[in-house]
Amino acid sequence: MSDEPHILTSVDEHGVMLVTINRPEVMNALSVEMMALLEDAIGEASTRDDVYAMVLTGAGRGFCAGLDLKARADDEDGGGAPDLRLFDLHNTPPLVLHRMDKPVICALNGPAAGYGMDMALGCDIRIASDRAKLGAVFVRRGVLPESGGTWYLPRLVGWAKAAEIAFMGDVLDAERSLEMGLVNRVVPHDDLMDEVAAMAARIASNAPYSVQATKRMMRLGMDETFETAVDHTYLQLRPMFGSEDFREGMTAFLERRDPSFKGR
């Protein structure tokens, strides 16, 4: 077993933080301790001024097999109930991801099941390896999508497709996931990280506050009336018009050159 940390992070020259779930011997199944480390890593990406986008992936053959249900709570009757801390979403990766204004790309390098599938759905963009699979197998385990899936699925693909995915309990390969609208694109496995890095770098090259405000307004707009969304958008725009990045964007347009944004 590797002595490496179970959650790895690095930041490249474009300001993209790569967060890797690193427990390949169990297909990156998440323990309580790993969930805390992953929450910290996502929180770091969210708050660091030199990070403009985040990529989430898994080490080895899988993205994330879900929760590590081998961790059992002490149980007097010997029933072996799962550790309920695994199912409390307060201040855990799915909720921290949902609240994050910076864009997040999921590099879906292999199978994602249960909690792993829900966490992938919580990313803004999903690029899948042709070896990737999404395991919507909750109803075959006597549970339900406990980590945001029941919220994300209807919003991503509509009620009818969400019902088909959730009620059937199937494992969807990469092409089927693309057909259902669960991933943005499918690429050859060996090209996955290069494709994701290129997309992340392009996103990171745009005005950071513009990207983050756009994501924030999209997220809030899912639960707002159109009139409320218009008001909130106007309030977001007002301070942006006084920013250095706005002036740089306008100047670069007039000078017919690529802008160089500073996040100010």
- Please tell me the number of Cα atoms within 13 Å of 200 on its side-chain side: 31
| Residue 46 shares a structural domain with residue 166 | yes
Q: How confident is the model at residue 74 (pLDDT cuts 50, 70, 90)?
A: very low
pTM over cut 0.75? yes
CATH of the domain at 234: 1.10.12
Helix (H) or strand (E) holding 106: strand 104-108
- Check residue 73 and give its pLDDT: 43
How many structural domains are present in the chain?
Answer: 2
| 149-162 average pLDDT score | 94
Among 68-82, 98-112, 240-254, which stretch is predicted with the lowest mean pLDDT? 68-82
Report pLDDT digits (tens) over 197-214.
999 999 999 999 999 999
- Residue 260 in domain: no
Structural domain for 235, as ranges: 208-254
- Higher-scoring residue by pLDDT: 89, 213: 213
Nearest-angstrom CA–CA distance, 262 and 260:
7
CATH of the domain at 150: 3.90.226.10
Nearest-angstrom CA–CA distance, 138 and 58:
21
Nearest-angstrom CA–CA distance, 186 and 42:
25
- Residue 230 in domain: yes
Report pLDDT digits (tens) over 219-251.
999 889 999 999 998 888 888 888 988 898 999
| Residue 219 shares a structural domain with residue 195 | no
| Residue 247 shares a structural domain with residue 164 | no
| Residue 129 shares a structural domain with residue 192 | yes
| Residue 197 shares a structural domain with residue 229 | no
